[in-house]
Amino acid sequence: QSLASLAFNDPDGKPMTLGGLSGKTLLVNLWATWCAPCRAEMPALDRLQAEMGGEDFEVVAINVDKDGDEKPKAFLSEIGIENLGYYRDNTLGVFSDLKRRSLALGLPVTLLVGEDGCLLAHMNGPAEWDSADAKRLISTALDGSRAEPVR
């Protein structure tokens, strides 16, 4: 299913959709500062972005705290997050959209999205996103997106 219409704000605070990142394989993660498992997996997401992020792949960690930017930005600074863009949706619209599609049960929720904006896999709950298994999953998705179409 296409996730191109998922709407949130880009790192500059401007509205965007996931479709605006088409052409890249994405690991989309919804998180909040009040979610302990979200907080715990954030350093692994940052390391994954540092190691694998680039023209073909990006970790898109979307903060869904309802209040202002101060608390999430302070948290990211406090734990030394340096490689993730600051994507944001303080309306919970992106979470609600995923919940309607039966993709989100709670936080964190993570989606692997192909370069065409379509869902490849999803997971509810935390994971070690910089583990060998996670990197293998992402590498497989990237290899699939680079494969020549069957004729």
What pLDDT does residue 71 have?
Answer: 96
Tens place of pLDDT per residue across the chain (151 aa): 999 999 999 999 999 999 999 999 999 999 999 999 999 999 999 999 999 999 999 999 999 999 899 999 999 999 999 999 999 999 999 999 999 999 999 999 999 999 999 999 999 999 999 999 999 999 999 987 654 444 4
CA-closest candidate to residue 143, choices 49, 27, 57, 20: 57
What pLDDT does residue 146 have?
Answer: 54
What pLDDT does residue 144 have?
Answer: 78
Q: Is the pTM of this model over 0.85?
A: yes
